[in-house]
A and B are shown apart, each in its own frame.
Chain A
Amino acid sequence: MAAILSRVRHDTVPTTNSATTEPTWVRWLLIAVTVGFVTLFLVLPLIAIFFKAFEKGLIPYFATFKHNPAYTPTYNPADAVNSILLTLKIAAVAVPLNLVFGLAAAWAITKFQYKGKSLLVTILDLPFAISPVIAGLIFILIFSRTHGWLGRALKGEGLFSRWIQHIDENIISLKIIFAFPGIALATIFVTLPFIARELVPTMQARGRDEEHAALTLGAGGWRTFFTVTLPNVRWALFYGIILCNARAMGEFGAVAVVSGNLRGQTTTVPIFIEMLYHGYGSDVNAFALATLLALLALVTLVLKNIVEWRVAKSREA
């Protein structure tokens, strides 16, 4: 609402008052710089993706996903489809887990007083501060068959070998790095703070009074959570989920390190785009697949703006 208010207030400031606004030519210059900078860095790349994807027409575009003898891609389009499915599966694992975590963390951070809270919030922020490449590396150092703690322990070497001797053969054959679990772990790591980071400020702003009231009236903890807290933060929650999902589906660096690049098996869409771009397919194929992720980004931005509009509206009411 602060945004809305200040805009309304701003309109009442006479534009001729040279004391609280800039000369007209300065205003036009700053607007021109803004439009130019945004066009150069944001609008043009977005247009370029779709332009490059449809440059040769619709048929080569669709040949990226479905085999077309007239425009034989240099690869099996089924691998592209499998990459899409893998990306959806990864998001289906990472987003719900981080959703539960986000709710729990936001509750623990905003509803109680204790020492060390700011340390907890800082730890929560760590995945945002760390290079995605390192997010992949840390799981290799633990789970790699050849170089990780777990792998070496399974071979009877290293720090933890003593604990692992009696474990079932099935677990020993389980593959984590260069397979689905590794990609999922890396994705969970890089998307971990999103939902919690959206919920914490909103729950902080709402305070604890409504929960106190519900509890005083005899509602249980879960009931208070589902009927009081959750409806209050639903837009922040929704916003956190779409951001988390966009990153989970689009993560490149962390997944690239743990993926192993088995076409159609351990390649998510971003990884497969890179393979296509670096010679495995044509530029059209790479950009065709990229349009899907660009659309996802655009939908995310549209939803974000709808959420902000709803929040502003509900506060006005």
Chain B
Amino acid sequence: MSFPASPEDTGRTPIPPVRRKGRVNRRVIPGFGLTMGFTLTYLTLLVLIPLAAVFLRSAGLGWEDFWKAVTARQAVHSYKVTFGVSALAALTNAIFGFIVAWALTRYRFYGRRLIDALVDLPFALPTAVAGIALTALYAQNGWIGQFFHQPAEGVERSAFVTWVGQFLWPLGIKTAFSLTGIYIALTFIGLPFVVRTLQPVLEDFDHEVEEAGASLGAGRLRVFLTVIIPSLIPSILTGFSLAFARAIGEYGSVIFISGNRPLDTEITPLVIVKALEDHNYPRATAVAVVMLLASFLLLLIVNVLQRWAESIGQARN
């Protein structure tokens, strides 16, 4: 590039900053008004006004009707299913996600990079595709489902499946069209969160801290429990909350595998969709408000947890 050639260009050359720091940057780098204006307009039109619509519409219902819609039997049962199964799925992901993140960052083994790349699959794979794939696997005749479901009359299973089945069939676990099915779908979609939250923390973890613990005479298990785990807890909780938040809102992958029976395997997002199909807009709006409040609360919790995790990371370095 050349030196400013035209008077306009010279005009844009910044005046050396003299005022306090916060002000300086705003003056030197141009485009604050343009980018901030565009960002706020876009967010207001597409996010804030539409979300406000839900609250305004539910306010229009009046407290009594709102409460009736929110506490309807079908809705209350769906909260129990959604929040209960989501918590179990997020817990599963916290435990197995920790093991996966640990193995991926600490050990070298054949296929490690492939597994590392595959962890993001639930982010990339459309939920409807995940839903039909999981249903195909876990339904009565599916590759995995056949180990759990006694075959119908006249259906033959291979010797291996029959052998495993003699232990699993009597348990009567239904792996699809049941709460177990919802649990499987929610575990799938929440899988990346804990792994991806923990991985960078484990990678940056200072080995010297472990070595110090070891040189002071602590065994590996003790170092793990008293040095490593405490500093990872905020990150594990962040991953858990992210997986949980994703799971309570999930719709696409669940509706294929859940069976969708009211008062049994119906999740809250489906209650909203069914209310819309029945043109019962008050119920849809009221239940949506409950979901939104839960989501906002979780977003707040995640923010607090992330700050906690960062403060631990900074204290270490």
Contact = CB atoms under 8 A, between A and B. Distances in A.
A and B pair up: yes
B177 interface: no
Contact of A253 (B100, B127, B136): B127
A290 to B, nearest CB: 5
Contact of B214 (A19, A27, A44, A132): A19
Contacts of A23: 220
Interface string B6-36: 0001101110000001100110111110111
A270 B252 contact: yes
B106 A10 contact: yes
B124 A297 contact: yes
Interface stretch (A56-64, A68-76, A101-109, A166-174): A101-109
A138 to B, nearest CB: 4
Contacts of A109: 39
A45 B137 contact: yes
Given A2-B200, A256-B273, A257-B273, A131 B248 contact: yes
A189 B50 contact: yes
A134 B288 contact: yes
B127 A218 contact: no
Contact of A192 (B47, B269, B270): B47
Interface residues of A, number: 113
Contacts of B142: 48
B264 interface: no
Nearest to A134: B288
B301 to A, nearest CB: 11
Given A37-B100, A290-B129, A297-B126, A113 B25 contact: yes
Interface stretch (B64-72, B110-118, B150-158, B160-168): B110-118
B299 A129 contact: yes
A56 to B, nearest CB: 14
A189 B47 contact: yes
Interface stretch (B73-81, B231-239, B278-286): B278-286
B197 to A, nearest CB: 14
22 contacts: A7-B108, A19-B215, A22-B220, A27-B107, A45-B125, A45-B137, A46-B125, A104-B39, A111-B31, A112-B36, A118-B303, A125-B299, A134-B272, A134-B288, A189-B46, A218-B10, A243-B124, A250-B125, A252-B128, A290-B128, A301-B120, A304-B120
Interface of A: 2-3, 6-7, 9-11, 13, 17-23, 27, 30-31, 33-35, 37-38, 40-46, 48-49, 52, 100-101, 103-105, 107-109, 111-114, 118, 120, 122-127, 129-134, 137-142, 146-147, 149, 185, 188-189, 192, 208, 211-212, 215-221, 223, 225, 227, 243, 246, 249-253, 256-257, 270-271, 273-274, 277, 283, 286-287, 290, 293-294, 296-298, 300-302, 304-305
